[in-house]
Amino acid sequence: MDQYCVFGHPIEHSRSPFIHQMFAQQTKQQLSYEKKWVELDGFTQVITDFIAKGGKGANVTVPFKEQALQICDQLSQAAKRAGAVNTLSFIDGKILGDNTDGIGLVQDLLRHKVKIADSNILLLGAGGAAKGVLLPLLRKKPKNIIIANRTASKAKLLSEQFSIYPVVGCGFDDIPFSEFDIIINATSASLTGTFPDISAQLIHAKMTCYDMVYSKELTPFLQWAKAQGAAKVFDGLGMLVGQAAVSFNIWRNVTPDVETVINALRADIAKS
Ligand code: ATR
């Protein structure tokens, strides 16, 4: 049976096996998908061992996505631009690296009927998560993307890497205008129970607020946005399933249905 695995540190809360096993059932594919905790200095060895045992592909999560890029023989454009790899394929002795996070976000926004083309987007955060979604978002031709970060210099630096596009970097206090169609929280603030300290005046009823993180209850950022009057608030569960579906397609050449898996996962999380 073809073997797949997700590698991370920590890994116990990963939902990837649940998602990929559902995809496999749905598309009648014979495969196994497991999760494995990896020592911080053990990533390369673990991948070498997995390939030697016949592994066909892997997902890579925090904190190994940059290291994964280093071990690849070939990289997709998305992986190069993101500077990180979340999907590895092992084919004919070669390691191919891709990054499906950004496409997962774009597909989830479109699934929610959010128009990206011609929109004004405020992207909060300038770390790996923000960097990974910039190119896929830009490919959908938004009017502007403003990257705002707690540490303004990091946002400016990131925007300079995308200077051929309509991208501007700034701090939370000098966001250049206030009429945004979409705000995406790509900071890790939700993980510590907080949210980015941006002006409440940025929120209005017709906009979409998206948090790349998901949780059982609404994330702190989405709770706050809703309290300020945002009507459309979405968490990153659909993005998680979306990026997994793109990985599954890379490995198996078949596109699974995400909707049933999102619903099953939401129900499973509600029980936990
Ligand atoms: P990731 O790969 O999840 O993006 P990262 O590269 O460590 O992780 O980046 C974390 C991002 O979340 C950064 O943009 C960070 O802002 P700083 O660059 O100013 O550190 C942002 N972040 C983390 N906690 C935050 C908080 N409480 N409020 C606002 N931004 C926060």
pTM: 0.95
In the chain, % of residues over pLDDT 90: 97
Ligand 1 centre from 69 Cα, in Å?
21
Mutation to probe ligand 1, out of 157, 173, 184, 188 (largest number of atoms < 8 A from CB): 188
Ligand 1 centre from 190 Cα, in Å?
10
pLDDT in tens, 164-207: 999 999 999 999 977 999 999 999 998 889 999 999 999 999 99
In the chain the domains, ranked by start, together with CATH numbers, are 2-99 (3.40.50.10860), 102-237 (3.40.50.720)
Torsion of CA 28, 30, 34, 38, to 10 degrees: -130
Residue with CA nearest ligand 1 atom 14: 125
pLDDT in tens, 42-61: 999 999 999 999 999 999 99
Question: Residues of 103-125 as b/e, b for ≥16 C-beta within 10 angstroms?
Answer: bbbbbbbebeebebeebbbbbbb
Respond yes or no on whether the N-terminal peptide bond of residue 10 is cis (omega within 30° of 0).
yes
Ligand 1 centre from 128 Cα, in Å?
9
Write out the catalytic residue numbers: 65
Residues with CB under 6 Å of ligand 1 are 125-130, 149-151, 154, 187-189, 194, 196
